Structure 1
């Protein structure tokens, strides 16, 4: 049971549509518990702004880029963050994604915000690269994380979505284990992403729909998926390989439209682009695939499992924790298109196993991934820190 309170909390995220897609339930439940809720975010779209207003939250728009590195622009963004925190004087700050964790964490430390909770939603291409530039960038970010959250402080908590990232930060001396927590990502709306029975999966004329729902980024395994599709096409496998998601010009790992269209024109894949009907897209799939190089806790896998779909994903942080191999799906090595193609064939040739995996996936989602359950985990962190629990 939660206590009613009038504490002020700022949710800080650099991209408002991302916040709405992942953390609307948390913001709504925080508002319902009596908090004065402020959303500080960049990248606002009219639809996202309207969504925040419907949640009953106050929005402060911020001029910040997700991936920008211009020092003057970043300094201007930090100054705006500092001014907002000083003017609003929040009791709690919830920081989401890398830039908000670092910029917001540093500002909150100097402005003595009573409680700071940072969520590491994933480390992405910054931490998966092996070039000299990537290594320098990674070490710089670790230094900034230490500055924002380090030391034996009772006023900070870092929340991780997988145990690999949690262990990495602890071993890198960014934060003490007692200052960390773990959640199953942002969770999933189990009513919106629901299980729906389809035509018999073992029908002899069945063409299996294999869907990769993601932004078209190289580190999501898009190229491996396309290569696997080419292998399966040459073998005459009864599959339709479908990409669902748009390109992302702000991300250096993004493919270009013309890169993908050459494979579409060859009949290797189907590309639907960005869609706002993801429950339907996942429900129409037979297999959902995410051959990513690294994740926090991939929301799309949780959503697919809630829809009762078998999963094929990679043996990398985040992905490997989402499922149990041979129970909810299959795990393959990252960057291995041949292994990915073989895993797809294995499930296509064993439709009964595929069906059982789907049912088990829905059960796991119901037990672990409900967004209301995840929101209550966060509320417990806020309210214990505010003196309402122990």
Structure 2
């Protein structure tokens, strides 16, 4: 039996975005392994019960400390060598670097997934500029392998990496996001909320744009346009970009937001909302929350960054806005005050998801990459 090994930073991210594809690979005849930092014992056990073989890397996702990175390198290489996979599928930068090094040296088949280019390629901070130079050089080196495939979530990322690495475009593919079960996330008419509810559900980091939503809400309140900003989030205390707990608490006490905490029922939250907003200010992939919102029939609004425009078709399923609070407020006002437009956008959004973002489509294309390498 051929071994397929996924290598990624965090357990919750793999569980949310990649588990369905891992199970499909298992059904396709692979022995499936997952290497990541397992902080949640429940997820570890669920993987074992489903037939996915988990390995705890204890890797630090955010640390740039050379000693920590060397420790992560040694520990992860030991795990990968013990598994000895036929195909190594690396997701996010640090696993791509470590796994790419292993596959290059030991001549293993390699898949690199880019779920957005992130802060390394979009931030102007000095440390990220240095990292961008080093990471780009590494990608050029590893892309010279014959048995390698690059997966992207949208065309802009693919074009950028091709220009950096010179990788053969035939070794690349765009697969739109994680894919969702469109039978589970079925279309539902919006609720009759007064005032309308705008949902923000994401990791609680500044780069996701929650503070901009709060400022846009204040602008609209001064104009007499009211909406409730409903916030559900995952705290990421080890991330230097994390929003501190006391800031969230202050926003809640000031009634700038309706704070729900971390929730597992995001589908229900989307169904209870009228609009979904995610004004990220960095180049992420195709956010799952926007795919889920579209499937349920909710219009979305986002800045023109990363893969958000892959799921939001501007003026058809929602709004892609300029990266400033005034434009964000203007487009929010249009959606908040026009129920018919929200409904029309919602119908269009559902059709767009069905054409490109359903699970069967994403799984088929991913398994096709593995078959291409064999």
Q: Is the 8 A contact 1:43 1:65 kept in 2?
A: no
Q: Which position in structure 2 is the counterpart of 1:45?
A: 40
Once residues 174 and 15 of structure 1 are traced to their aligned partners in structure 2, the CA distance between those partners, rounded to angstroms, is 30
Question: What's the CA shift for 1:174?
Answer: 5.4
CA RMSD of aligned residues (A): 1.6
**By how many angstroms is 1:128 displaced?**
1.7
Whether contact under 8 Å (2:190, 2:273) holds in the other structure is no
Conservation of the 8 A alpha-carbon contact between 1:186 and 1:374: yes
| Aligned counterpart, 1:59 | 54
Aligned mate of 2:289, from 284, 300, 316: 300
Q: 1:213: how far off? A: 1.2
Residue 109, structure 1, aligned to residue 104, structure 2: yes
Secondary structure of 2:199's aligned partner: strand
- The equivalences for 1:301-340 within 5 A come to 301-334=290-323, 336-340=324-328
| TM-superposed deviation, 1:180 | 1.2
The whole-number CA distance in structure 2 between the counterparts of 1:229 and 1:291 is 13
- The match for 1:3 is none
Per-residue CA deviation, residues 254-294 of structure 1 (Å, 9 max, x unaligned), is 11111122222222221212111100011111000111122
Q: Name the residue aligned to 2:16.
A: 21
What residue number does 1:355 align with?
A: 343
CA distance, structure 1, for counterparts of residue 222 and residue 254 of structure 2: 12
Per-residue Cα deviation, 1:63-99 (whole angstroms, up to 9, x for no partner): 2111112222222221222222322221111111111
Partner residue in 2 for 1:189: 181
Q: 1:253 aligns with which of 230, 241, 248?
A: 241
CA–CA separation in structure 2 for the residues paired with 1:298 and 1:220: 11
SS of 1:214's equivalent? strand
Residue segments in structure 1 that go unaligned for 5+ positions in a row? 1-5
Q: Alpha-carbon deviation of 1:51?
A: 2.4
Using a 3 Å threshold, how does the CA distance of structure 1 residues 300 and 174 change in structure 2: closer, same or farther?
farther
Separation of aligned partners in 1, 2:75 and 2:140:
22
Shift of 1:198: 4.0
- State the shift of 1:178 in Å: 2.2
8 Å Cα contact 2:234/2:262 also seen in 1: yes
2:156 to 164, 184, 187: 164
Unaligned 5+ segments in structure 2 are none
Within 2, Cα distance between the matches of 1:215 and 1:39? 22
Question: What is the rounded CA distance, in whole Å, between the counterparts of 2:242 and 2:26 in structure 1?
Answer: 36
- Count matched residues: 373
Alignment-derived partner of residue 334 in structure 2: 346
Deviations 1:288-316 (A, max 9, x none): 01111221111111111111100111111
For residues 104 and 89 of structure 1, the distance between their equivalents in structure 2, rounded to whole angstroms, comes to 12
**Match for 2:359 among 348, 371, 376?**
371
SS of 1:122's partner is coil
Deviates more, 1:42-51 or 1:100-109: 42-51
Matches within 5 A, 1:168-179: 168-173=160-165, 175-179=167-171
Question: CA separation in 2, counterparts of 1:243 and 1:288?
Answer: 10
Cα contact 1:145–1:174 (8 A) shared by 2: no
Residues 1:150 and 2:143 are matched in the alignment: yes
Distance 1:133 1:72 in 2: 17
Quote how far apart the aligned CAs of 1:384 are: 2.2
Q: Partner of 1:140 in structure 2?
A: 134
Q: Is the 8 A contact 2:4 2:30 kept in 1?
A: yes
Equivalent residues in 2 for 1:122-137, closer than 5 Å: 122-137=116-131
The TM-score with structure 2 as length reference comes to 0.95
CA distance in 2, matches of 1:39, 1:102: 17
Q: Distance in 2 between matches of 1:112 and 1:192?
A: 41
State whether structure 2 residue 368 is matched by structure 1 residue 383. no
